[in-house]
Amino acid sequence: MSTRRTVRVLIVEDSPTDEFLTRRALDRYAEIEFDVEVVPSTKGLNRLLDSVDVDVVLLDYNLPGRTGLEFLRELSDIGERPPIIMLTGSGDEFVAKEAILAGAVDYFLKSRIEPEALGSAISKCLQADARKKAARRQRLETERLAVVDALTDLYNRRYLADVLRRECGRVARYGGSLSCLMVDIDGFKQYNDVYGHLQGDVVLRQVGRLISGSISDCDIAARYGGDEFCLLLTDTSHEGALDLAERLRAGIAERGLMVGGSTVPVTASFGVFTTTGNSAPQAEVLIEGADLALRRAKATGKNQVHAISEPALPTS
């Protein structure tokens, strides 16, 4: 015995007779079991759609107060709503065309409401909506991968460069400060040599999660390349940037990281650079300053935080 799938339908209909005919047609469709809810007008319909889980809406064209077509035209987030089929008692081609242009996925005459026709129309509508949502998910994933590092799920270097330029422009115009942190996992090549590259990837992901969980929503964390990470902190003082760097350094060193079922000691070095506000910041200067501080941290023992300020940068 086959089990019919359940589809949740919201009928927006003010005529008791038309509601009865629509319900009866849905009840008699053999392929799908419909879970039906009915409202008599579009009043409060947006709020209802926000609060209930609906697969498809059967929307009457001729409704009191505001027609179904007017409701469609006023929807600003039609792509986020369940698919809508417009029901009408007339065969006006203009109404059909306008309904489709306004965002309805189909247009259905009430005179054709009978089980097979209506059920098939809903089934095709749901299939088309599933394809559209799958395509949208694929597009969003493609857009995400264009700015996100696939291994660590942090932003990638290209996106970081865009944000750096934008934030430098903002600070130059409105004032404020920017802090840049460069992070390098100490002895990462040895981790790869001893444990293999797959376990090295585990270390990178775990460090990435620790970093992303330690910054605010307005800050940016990116994988800069290899085992290096870069953090851009907006409107953060030099002391605040140093505090974050030290907390991250201690967090990595103290907890260790799980590799192959055992805890492996891992440390990282940090370079911190903060703009002084005395001049318009430049993206290249931020990266150069943080990278110079990082190199000094590595050269003086690793597993530490080193910071420099703008005047400490070598002049060309």
Question: pLDDT tens track of the chain, all 316 residues?
Answer: 456 789 999 999 999 999 999 999 999 999 999 999 999 998 888 888 888 899 999 999 888 888 888 888 888 666 678 999 999 887 677 778 888 888 888 888 888 889 999 999 999 999 988 888 888 888 888 888 889 999 999 999 999 999 999 999 888 888 888 999 999 999 999 888 888 888 889 889 999 999 999 999 899 999 999 999 999 998 788 999 999 999 999 999 987 777 667 788 899 999 999 987 666 788 999 999 999 999 999 999 999 999 987 655 555 4
Which amino acid is residue 126, in one-letter code? L
Q: Say if residues 272 and 243 touch (Cβ distance below 8 Å).
A: no
**Does pTM top 0.95 for this prediction?**
no
- Distance, CA of 270 to CA of 181 (rounded, Å): 7
Q: Say if residues 250 and 231 touch (Cβ distance below 8 Å).
A: no
Residues 6 or more apart whose Cβ sits within 8 Å of residue 227: 184, 185, 188, 204
- Catalytically active residues are 227
* Token representation of residue 31: 């392929």
Sheet of 178-185: strand order equals 220-225, 228-234, 178-185, 268-274, 305-309
- Distance, CA of 141 to CA of 135 (rounded, Å): 10
- Distance, CA of 274 to CA of 290 (rounded, Å): 8
Which class would CATH give 157-312?
Answer: alpha beta
Sheet of 5-12: strand order equals 32-39, 5-12, 56-60, 84-88, 106-109
What number does CATH give the domain 5-144? 3.40.50.2300
Taking phi over 0 as left and psi of -120 to 50 as alpha, with beta for the rest, 256 belongs to left
Q: What is the pLDDT of residue 79?
A: 62
- Distance, CA of 248 to CA of 209 (rounded, Å): 11
Q: What is the pLDDT of residue 316?
A: 47
Q: Where are the domains of the chain?
A: 5-144, 157-312
Distance of CA 147 to the CA centre of its chain: 12
3-state helix/strand/coil string of 138-192 = HHHHHHHHCCECCCCCCECHHHHHHHHHHHHHHHHHHCCCEEEEEEEECCHHHHH
Q: Measured at the alpha carbon of residue 105, what is the angle toward residues 48 and 68, in degrees to the nearest 5? A: 50
Q: What is the pLDDT of residue 278?
A: 62
**Do the two domains 5-144 and 157-312 of this chain adopt the same fold?**
no
